[in-house]
Chains A and B, each alone.
Chain A
Amino acid sequence: MIDSIIIDGLAFALPMFIMAIGGIFSEKSGITNLAIEGLQGFGAFTGAFAMVILTNAMGTGTQVPYYISFLVAAAGGMIYSMVHVILCIRFKANQVISGVVVNILAMALTSFLTRRLNLMIFGETSNKFILETSVRYDVPVLSEIPFIGAAFKRVYPFEILIVIIAVIAWYVMYRTPYGMHLRACGDNPHAADAAGIDVGRVQMIAIVLSGGLSAIGGMCYAYSISANFSPDIYLGLGYLAIAALIFGNWSILPTLGACLLFGFARSIGHEVIKNLGMPSTYNDLVRTLPYVVTLLLLIFFSKNNRAPRALGEVYFRGKR
């Protein structure tokens, strides 16, 4: 039972973590990013579409389409994130509104396209791209360790990918010139500009990165909890990721903690219901747990939050 709590908790938390990392990049550069929800959905859509096409072409015997689908998802998310870039940076729109707009467009666009593509290519009327659930591995040796070994049992390949990306993300953020420029833009874009940094460009790259990372997160969910792409992917997990990064104070490691908390809240709930033999309708109550935990945590912790100083500020060059 403990094993499945850890296994399911991680499988839920890590995709959220990678979305939150994307969010941290965007918000640390000064751009409020509520668009994560739409970005992950759009990414999952492109990835799932690629997967469906590739499996049709290459058959089911190979793992290649699986990995390609992640690349395609990331590319899709990055391209789609340009909508947020254009609205926020080019058209100086309110970033909160822009984020919501991007999400609504993603929902409408992907539902429409899924139906359309299904009809055009497969001649079916369906609003889903059916995927298979991802394969899972036991990490040799490590998974044998009692108790914590569960963290290495039945691991999705993407979980490992996410951990690697997280390390790289930390390095980029805190050790490279780009990371330094990015954090500077979020604190004082005027100062960054005066130092010769192209604020718009830094922010654009940050949003696009966040698009790619969110998309990978969305693709993970498509492979794990739903085993398909359908409009049901818009479960608000992107918003949960935002709550996680707020709770994690815009730093990568504490944000991981927040994601794990949400993940375990959920998996514990499911286990409890399963073990007590309650009817499956109770699962709907369990599904509220991550959201409830988020709210409670925000109540206790958001007072001493320190958001990036220039977060959400529309940057005008000439403004003095």
Chain B
Amino acid sequence: MDNYEYIIEMKHITKRFPRIVANDDVSISIKKGEIYALLGENGAGKTTIMSVLFGMYEPDEGEIYIRGEKVNITSPRQATMLGIGMVQQHFRLISNYTVTENIILGSEPQNKLFGFIPHVDIKKSNAEIAALSEKYGLKVDPLAVISDLNVSTQQRVEILKMLYRDAEILIFDEPTAVLTPQEIEFLLEIIRGLRDSGKTIIIITHKLEEIKAIADRCAILNHGRLIDIKDVKDTSTTELARLMVGHEVSFTVDKEEARPGDTVLKVENLTVCNEQGYKAVDDVSFEIHSGEIFALAGVAGNGQNELADAIAGLKQVRSGKIVLDGLDITGMSIRERIENGMSYIPEDRQKVGLIMGFSLKDNLAVRKYYTDSFSHHTIINDQTFDEHGKRLIDDYDIRSSDGNSTIVRAMSGGNQQKAMIAREIDMKGKLIVVMQPTRGLDVGAISNIHKRIVAERDRGAAILLISLELDEVMNCADTIGVIYDGRINRIAKASELTVNEVGNYMMGVSRSEVKDGRDDMQKEGGEGA
């Protein structure tokens, strides 16, 4: 019956975007029932080529064959009809709909009221979804509303969405980016189960361990080009890494032993509420010393944003105290905090960190524009703006088409990030709050930024590094704090904790339980090597 060798064949796909060729003559072929990985750094073109397959983009050149037949996929709807499903990195869920409503959206079973008035048959759907989740072991409550669910459950909803549409080809875009090690393990188990029931799986990732753990074959992309296709079991992790980056890489951050000095930041019994009035940060206390990197680990949405915003003054505190270098700053305005030596690199550079419609030099001056040399009696001193911008652009290698006067919106994500980091580090503050500094950056840029952060530590700054990437936490931290559901679950010297312990604390496991389980978990201990 299957008179084709490959279920998917993408031949000579080229996709151009303004200023960039995202896919350059990429050809891949995937067999039915295999787990196929696409490996590459951010910006390598992995997501683009899968978006082409899923009908989100139309390729500029190239052909696609599904089950041996040439197809022209112009919309996700058509991809769905061809049996292709995709879980995107940012979940595509309607926040105020129930699980069932989200799954059936776009292909709702209908019934006729009084035999002629059409309506959505929600009762039948609820039963169907319950049965489906049972069948694949994906536990969800069909009646739960999406905004009440955690990330890993939302991901299960996304998977069910594909299964409900009888997808045979399942694409996962960076499915583990937001999960804890334990959740990752569980997800990989689910994926294996799906493969065993005959589905074809494509997984986009830049995490080598996952590929080793699960994939059969692996295509490596770099700068839009296909570098190689490897059988995973015959290829070492270091070989894969070399292919991905294009040169040898070391995974560790070179840094000397920390020499902590005086306490710079002292957070005492801090409680912060989110918009819904929920205690997102609940009675949190910790201290950071000068010359110390305090890394806060945790799964997304456990209060990290609120904590960082509260320290930086973007969010009001319900109770508790924040002391910066002996000065109580709890009630201070944002500007007063800045003037007292605080820098903040927020997670969302596009909405918060940068004014996208401003020029680069205006953005670089955003912390200082009102100070003496930048303006006099409110009249702006252009020369200072220019010189300040030029200096940072040179020092931090910020690349843009027009230098100082480039509108920031027109810059690449990596360079936007560099600009923001340059500006904040240049403040030479006593405390630097850094949130997800390397999100969306490639390996080279990441190690550069890590070096900068370590250099700041060695200069004597206290650094609060908030990261969802466990690797980053393990590599950079002198001290690790783990936050779970708004509470600090554990604080310890970095050298005293293993990856798995941190992962357990991130799941809310208490300290005594972690101790007991220590011996059972050794698998991922060598991650850093």
Task: Decide if B97 touches A187 in the complex (CB within 8 Å).
Answer: yes
Give residues of chain A (178-210) contacting chain B, Cβ–Cβ below 8 Å. Answer: 180-181, 183-184, 187-188, 190-198
Q: In the complex, which residue of chain B has the Cβ closest to the Cβ of A194?
A: B92
Residues A196 and B76 in contact in the complex (CB < 8 Å), given A187-B95, A188-B92: yes
The smallest C-beta distance from B50 to any residue of chain A, in angstroms, reads 12
Contact pick for A197, options B91, B102, B106, B119, CB 8 Å: B106
Contact status A191-B92, CB under 8 Å: yes
Contact with A along B93-109 (1 / 0, CB 8 A): 11111000110011110
Q: Is the CB of B118 within 8 A of A195?
A: no
Task: Give B87-138 interface residues, CB cut-off 8 Å to A.
Answer: 88, 90-97, 101-102, 105-108, 110, 117-120
Q: How far is the CB of A316 from chain B (nearest CB, A)?
A: 12
Contact A177 B56 (CB under 8 A): no
Interface membership of B318, Cβ < 8 A? no
Asked if B120 and A194 sit within 8 Å, CB to CB, the answer is no
List of A residues within 8 angstroms of B86 by Cβ: 194
Contact B118 A177 (CB under 8 A): yes
Chain A contacts for B106, CB-based, 8 A: 181, 192, 195-197
Task: Give A51 Cβ to nearest chain B Cβ, in Å.
Answer: 32
Number of interface residues of B (CB under 8 A): 28
> Is B77 interfacial (CB 8 A cutoff)?
yes
Checking A180, A197, A317 against B101 with a beta-carbon cut-off of 8 angstroms, the contacting residue is A180
In the complex, which of the residues A171, A175, A195, A320 contacts B105, with contact meaning CB atoms closer than 8 Å?
Answer: A195
**A309 part of interface (Cβ distance < 8 Å):** yes
The smallest beta-carbon distance between B298 and chain A, in angstroms, is: 25
Could you tell me the distance in whole angstroms from the C-beta of B224 to the nearest C-beta in chain A? 16
> A177 vs B111: C-alpha distance in the bound complex, in angstroms?
11
Q: Does A318 contact B (CB under 8 A)?
A: yes
A230 → B minimal CB distance (Å): 41
Chain A proximity mask over B327-364: 1 for CB below 8 Å, otherwise 0: 00000000000000000000000000000000000000
Q: How far is the CA of A97 from the CA of B279 in the complex (A)?
A: 39
CA of A181 to CA of B105, assembled, Å: 7
B374 on interface, CB distance cutoff 8 Å: no
Q: Which residues of A contact B91 (CB under 8 A)?
A: 191
CB of B110 within 8 A of CB of A318, answer no
A171 to chain B: which residues have CB within 8 Å? 117, 119
| Of B80, B94, B101, B110, most A-chain CB atoms within 10 Å | B94
What is the CA–CA distance of A176 and B110 in the complex, to the nearest angstrom? 8
Residues of chain A with a CB closer than 8 A to B105's CB? 180-181, 184, 191-192, 195, 197
Question: Are A317 and B56 neighbours in the complex by a CB distance under 8 Å?
Answer: yes
Contact A177 B120 (CB under 8 A): yes
Residue of A183, A190, A194, A318 with highest tally of chain B CB at under 10 A: A194
Q: Are B92 and A175 in contact (CB under 8 A)?
A: no
Known: A194-B92, A195-B92, A196-B80. A177 touches B108 (CB 8 A): yes
Pick the residue among A187, A190, A197, A317 that contacts B96 (CB under 8 A).
Answer: A187
Contact A192 B118 (CB under 8 A): no
How long is the Cα–Cα vector from A196 to B90 in the complex, in angstroms? Answer: 17
Which chain B residues lie closer than 8 Å to A318 at the CB level?
56-57
Give the docked Cα–Cα distance between A317 and B118 (Å). 30
Residues of B within 8 A of A198 (CB): 77
Q: Judge if B75 is at the interface, Cβ distance under 8 Å.
A: yes
Contacts of B161 in A (CB 8 A): 195
**Residues of chain B contacted by A175 (CB below 8 angstroms):** 119-120
| Shortest Cβ gap from A306 to chain B (Å) | 9
- Which of B57, B88, B92, B108 makes the CB contact (< 8 A) with A180? B108
Docked complex Cα distance between A35 and B132 (Å): 45
B92/A309 in contact, CB under 8 A: no
CA of A147 to CA of B110 in the docked complex: distance in angstroms? 44
* From B80, B90, B94, contact of A192 by CB (8 A): B94
Chain B, residue nearest A306 (CB): B96
A184 in contact with B57 given A192-B105, A196-B80, A197-B105 (CB within 8 Å) = no
State how many angstroms separate the Cβ of A188 from the closest Cβ of chain B.
5
Interface string of A276-298 (1 = CB under 8 A from B): 00000000000000000000000
Write out the residue numbers on chain A whose beta carbons fall within 8 Å of the beta carbon of B97: 183-184, 187
Q: Are A196 and B92 in contact (CB under 8 A)?
A: no
Question: Closest approach, in angstroms, between the C-beta of B296 and any C-beta of chain A?
Answer: 27
Residue ID in chain A nearest B104 by CB atoms: A180
- Which chain A residues border B95 with CB–CB below 8 Å? 187-188, 309
- CB-nearest residue of chain B relative to A197? B106
- Contacting pair B107 A194 (CB below 8 A): no
Contact B101 A188, beta carbon cutoff 8 Å: no
Q: B93 near A176 (CB under 8 angstroms)?
A: no
Chain B residues in 8 Å Cβ range of A317 = 56
Alpha-carbon distance between A154 and B522 when the two chains are bound, in angstroms: 83
Nearest CB on B from A199, distance (A): 11
Smallest CB separation, A132 vs chain B (Å): 36
CB of B446, distance to nearest CB on chain A (Å):
20
**B101 contacts across to A, CB distance below 8 A:** 180
Contact with B along A295-320 (1 / 0, CB 8 A): 00000000000000100000001101
Alpha-carbon gap, A191 to B80, bound state (A): 14
Residue in B80, B90, B108 whose CB lies within 8 Å of A320: B90
With contacts A181-B106, A184-B105 taken as known, whether A194 is within 8 angstroms of B94 at the C-beta atoms is no
Chain B residues lying within 8 Å of A192, measured Cβ to Cβ, are: 94, 105-106
Q: Which of B57, B75, B90, B110 contacts A177 (CB 8 A)?
A: B110
Chain B residues in 8 Å Cβ range of A320: 90
Chain B, residues 224-259, CB within 8 Å of chain A (1/0): the string is 000000000000000000000000000000000000
Query: What's the minimum C-beta distance from B11 to chain A, rounded to whole angstroms?
Result: 23
Contact of A194 among B57, B76, B119 (CB under 8 A): B76
Check A184 against B76 for contact (C-beta < 8 Å): no
Interface residues in A252-272 (C-beta closer than 8 Å to B): none
CB distance from B91 to the nearest CB of A (A): 8
Residue of B nearest to A318 (CB): B57
Return the CB mask of A237-260 against B: 1 if under 8 Å, else 0.
000000000000000000000000
**Which single residue of chain B is at the shortest CB-CB distance from A193?**
B76
A198 to B74, CA, bound (A): 12
Q: Which of A190, A191, A192, A318 counts the most B-chain CB atoms under 10 A from its CB?
A: A191
A196 B56 Cβ-Cβ under 8 A: no
Residues in chain A near residue B119, CB distance under 8 A: 171, 175-176
**B residues in contact with A180, CB < 8 Å:** 101, 105, 108, 120
Contacts of B107 in A (CB 8 A): 195-196
Nearest-Cβ distance from residue B95 to partner chain A, whole angstroms: 6
Pick the most buried of A181, A188, A309, A318: most chain B CB atoms within 10 A of its CB. A188
With the chains together, A195 CA to B90 CA distance in Å? 14
Min C-beta distance of B143 to chain A, whole Å = 16
A198–B105 alpha-carbon span in the complex (Å): 12
Min CB distance A93 to B, Å, is: 17
A171 to B113, CA, bound (A): 11
A261 to B91, CA, bound (A): 41
Which residues of A from 155 to 169 have beta carbons under 8 Å from B? none
List B residues at the A interface (Cβ < 8 Å).
56-57, 75-77, 80, 86, 88, 90-97, 101-102, 105-108, 110, 117-120, 161
Could you list 16 examples of A-B contacts with CB < 8 Å?
A176-B119, A176-B120, A177-B118, A177-B120, A180-B105, A181-B106, A183-B94, A191-B102, A195-B76, A195-B107, A196-B80, A197-B106, A309-B96, A318-B56, A318-B57, A320-B90
Known: A187-B95, A196-B80. 5 other contacts (CB 8 A): A180-B105, A183-B97, A187-B94, A192-B105, A196-B107
Q: Give A residues with C-beta under 8 Å from B.
A: 171, 175-177, 180-181, 183-184, 187-188, 190-198, 309, 317-318, 320
